[in-house]
Chain A
Amino acid sequence: MDNLRDLPNSDGFFGNYGGKFVPETLMFALKELEDTYDQLKSDPDFLKQIDQDLCHFVGRPSPLYFADRLTKHYDGPNIWLKREDLNHTGAHKINNTVGQILLAKAMGKKRIIAETGAGQHGVATATVAARLGLECHIYMGAADVQRQSLNVYRIKLLGAEVHAVDSGTATLKDALNEAMRDWVTNIDDTYYIIGSVTGPHPYPMIVRDFNSIVGRELRDQSIEHFNAFPEAIIACVGGGSNAMGIFYPFVSDPEVQLIGVEAAGSGIETGKHAAPLNDGHPGILHGAKSYLMQDENGQVIDTHSVSAGLDYPGVGPEHSNLKDSGRAIYLAVNDKEALDAFHMVTRLEGIMPALETAHAFAALDHLSGKFNKKDNIVINVSGRGDKDINTVATMDGISLD
């Protein structure tokens, strides 16, 4: 198992997955990014700057909180919550953007672009760009612009320009396509902040490393609170950055079960879902080889999930390797289960999770009986649910107008 921690290899592969499958124009920019990151990742000044930003700007460390009523409700293992929802801007996404914006600065880039699904990465990117006074463009599927209108307005307030993408399915994957096209066109002065552990090498590694602060904190906090590592860590997986960030520091600790939760949408059996690790095949999209929702001709299939942040046909290549190696397992929960979990956690704990995060909570129903009462399990609360109240109201048949 030890070698899993040493990936990716120098070609950007995690086992069979990953790589750099991009148009030639981008190869130079990926090399430039790789070299910069290689140089800075052990530079004391750079690391100090990140630590300071994470502490004073983001508000880290995020607490490890005991969910007393949720634990009583399930009458099973002790349930702990890693509170990424308490970060500045409301999700784990800011951990990555504070790091990448420093790379952009070090590379002398003047213009920042990003894709976003639920809008959290768009907000987190617009936030760090505003802080450094950099021009910022956010690509967002037109369908997501509709269902995440609060975040769209937040991004605009932060001074960034939002580009609604109409092509394809008008969701996250199309936003990524369009951001890549922008990058090819403006390659000389533009830095692309990818928001998940997806895309061509070195992005899956960089985004994982910046998010790994979550798992590193959890190592200390779990010893402090219950004097052991957790029995299991549960996190939702779209592209998979919050999951990778909390999993990675535990990859070489086989006693810690790693459980990812994908979006089963209307149900895996209906085909209308966003669960490539459960019901996809290896393929290549957005620069990396990984599990992918595709038809027999290699065309990417439309996805479905109530959660804009999980509504993506691919997944980070490192997750594909963790799946094949058996180090992590991946469940899937459907829209209704996620919505029920959203309500349950809100009422029992006074914590309103993002719909993405609600998938991780919904997995608790699938895991009953798997743990002892003395066990401790941790759920990564990847983000808060304020952005989702319109969607939840609509699903519950309530009009807010």
Chain B
Amino acid sequence: MIRLERKFASLKENSKKALVAYLVAGDPDISTTLELMHQFVLSGVDIIELGVPFTDPIAEGPIIQAAHDRALQANTSLDMIFSLVEEFRSKDSETPVILMGYINTFLANSKALESIHERGTDAVLIVDVPGESSLEDIGIQNKNIASISLISPTTDNDRIQKICMSSSGFIYYVTLRGVTGASNLNEDEIQKNILNIRNSTNLPVLAGFGIKTASDARALSQISDGVVIGSVLVEMIQELSEKKDYKKIYNYLNEISAAINP
């Protein structure tokens, strides 16, 4: 959690926006994920969001679903992901790492979750747990990790307040009605809703779901504290995994980074 706070403080000091990159842990395998995490940081990524694969990821579009399937094919377990983060920390002690997944896999490993911050994880984002629940409510005993929640275009003011109360780290604003990787962004609505969320919290508000191009990222970063890029990266990982040459992704990330912090 401390890493997240430090990161946002330093971004703020330098008047910069956050670039969060999502990839599915274990797609196509754990060692590639580790390499990509380090390279992402070198390409301008501020925060890494690791997808925890699940058999039934109902909030994901087809691109990320397929990545979950590939990671499960490679027998990726949550425990392997905790170790992956630990290994990442041996070379990078500063970049915050968030685990994003579904409640059933976390509950099956609730014991191991008690020590994940010592193993380098900073926050969890559990997609199918209502945002007003605390981690404790759902059986995760760990006061040292942040609990990041989603707020969507359909969240009413009453819920926004409750969710902000029980969230830490940052607020993840879902920019569209739909699954990850969809493409129906409505900038005016996003701006209005983010301003509204800021009435309830001092936490940074990041925008994600459906951000693909540098111009999407730029436009949304101007009305938020940063952007989350997911499906585009996951699609490129899939496309490039055969030749194991991921330079195209690093170039893309550099381009996004430059677009949001010109």
Contacts and interface: CB of A to CB of B under 8 A. Distances in A.
B107 A298 contact: yes
Contacts of A29: 154
A36 B155 CA distance: 18
A28 B77 CA distance: 32
Nearest to B129: A21
A208 interface: no
Interface in A241-283: 283
Interface stretch (A139-147, A285-293, A326-334): A285-293
A297 B58 contact: no
Given A285-B56, A300-B55, A25 B107 contact: no
B177 interface: yes
A24 B105 contact: no
B13 interface: no
B49 to A, nearest CB: 16
A304 interface: no
Interface stretch (B145-153, B198-206, B222-230, B234-242): B145-153
Contacts of A286: 56, 58
Contacts of A24: 130-131, 149-152, 154-155, 163, 174
B65 A167 contact: yes
B15 to A, nearest CB: 30
Interface in B170-213: 174, 177-179, 182
Contacts of B107: 283-284, 298
Nearest to A282: B107
Given A185-B178, A186-B177, A284-B103, A23 B155 contact: no
Interface residues on A, range: 20 to 34
Nearest to B101: A298
Interface stretch (A118-126, A152-160, A176-184): A176-184
A294 B108 contact: yes
B245 interface: no
A29 B153 CA distance: 12
Contacts of A283: 104, 107-108
B143 interface: no
Interface string A331-343: 0000000000000
A349 interface: no
B154 A180 contact: no
B58 A181 contact: yes
Contact of A297 (B57, B62, B108, B131): B108
A205 B60 CA distance: 27
A299 B177 contact: no
B40 interface: no
Given A296-B108, A298-B106, A300-B56, A28 B156 contact: yes
Interface in A13-54: 20-25, 27-29
A173 interface: yes
B108 A27 contact: no
Contact of B174 (A25, A292, A294, A300): A25
Given A187-B154, A298-B78, A299-B55, 6 more contacts: A24-B149, A24-B174, A184-B178, A286-B58, A298-B54, A298-B106
Interface of A: 20-25, 27-29, 167-168, 173-174, 177, 180-181, 184-188, 283-287, 292, 294, 296-300
Interface of B: 54-62, 65, 69, 72, 77-79, 102-109, 127-131, 149-156, 159, 163, 174, 177-179, 182
User: Which 4 A-B pairs rank lowest in CB-CB distance, beginning with the nearest?
Assistant: A298-B108, A28-B154, A185-B178, A25-B152
